[in-house]
A = this chain, B = another copy of it.
């Protein structure tokens, strides 16, 4: 039986162990049949590190710089110029301006991001993503990105599976950015990865065909869209969900059993922040969700 070895004994670990015991014990009034033991996990900040920037943003910045290197006419334009210079402040600034009511830089960025992989096949895109994972490292932790997963959360996935649960990733991040690595780092296969995605178009030639990436967003899998995508993909309501931001609030509301909210309060071992999690934390307090303190509940953060 998988163990929660990196979870410190205390009320959080007990809440998990007790919940799992209640839904799995034969004859328990809260028994849930194995096929309905669905658990959904946000990815960025819940299963792996999201600071100082989303791992996918690092991939995008590198890809923009590669594109500018291939086509020097782009090098003087944003966002290629900032990407080439490694000027991450420009990217952060585009978001800040957006919140100040000025969408000009965000539109420039979104257009370039949508064009980045447009008309590639999904397999060509997956190969670029795999190459990134094989080489890139976290800028401050110094670890390869595939080792930036939270050890206690990966243990939780195994613990739930050992108890008959089926675990899904339900992330605002890119579905096809996660899929090439999730089997390796989480033991979660592509069919159980739900996330944001650009449109796809089928193109057939001589009895064979491919899916080509289109330069427009098809799904933004965040906030109220998460429960919708869970139903679309799974057709069941989760009995356990874990998240860490306001983007997970509706998924947690939709979940019928144990709701876990990961609190980033460990500046020594990871990062300490609550920005973007205000509403979820308020709801955790109001509705009795289980807050997971990285500092107090986990004996180690990374493997």
B204–A35 touching, CB < 8 Å: no
A210 contact set on B, CB distance < 8 A: 254
From B189, B234, B286, give the contact of A35 (CB < 8 A). Answer: B189
A283–B207 touching, CB < 8 Å: yes
- Hey, what's the 0/1 contact readout for A20-53 against B, CB within 8 Å counting as 1? 0000000000000001000000000000000000
State the number of copies, please: 2
A209–B35 touching, CB < 8 Å: no
Interface assignment of A250: CB less than 8 Å from any CB of chain B? yes
Question: What residue in chain B is nearest A226 (Cβ atoms)?
Answer: B202
A209–B253 touching, CB < 8 Å: yes
A193–B235 touching, CB < 8 Å: yes
- Hey, what's the 0/1 contact readout for A203-225 against B, CB within 8 Å counting as 1? 01011111100000000000011
Q: How large is the interface on A (under 10, 10 to 19, 20 to 34, 35 or more residues)?
A: 35 or more
A209 contact set on B, CB distance < 8 A: 227, 250, 253-254
A179 contact set on B, CB distance < 8 A: 235
B202–A224 touching, CB < 8 Å: yes
Interface assignment of A287: CB less than 8 Å from any CB of chain B? yes
- Residue among A176, A193, A210, A235 with the highest chain B CB neighbour number at 10 A: A235
From B175, B228, B236, B250, give the contact of A191 (CB < 8 A). Answer: B236
Report the Cα distance A260→B235, complex, angstroms. Answer: 27
From B190, B225, B253, give the contact of A207 (CB < 8 A). Answer: B253
Closest chain B CB from A42 CB (angstroms): 16
Closest chain B CB from A190 CB (angstroms): 3
A231–B189 touching, CB < 8 Å: no
B287–A232 touching, CB < 8 Å: no
A234 contact set on B, CB distance < 8 A: 190-191
Report the Cα distance A160→B275, complex, angstroms. Answer: 49
A211–B227 touching, CB < 8 Å: yes
Interface assignment of A233: CB less than 8 Å from any CB of chain B? yes
Closest chain B CB from A180 CB (angstroms): 9
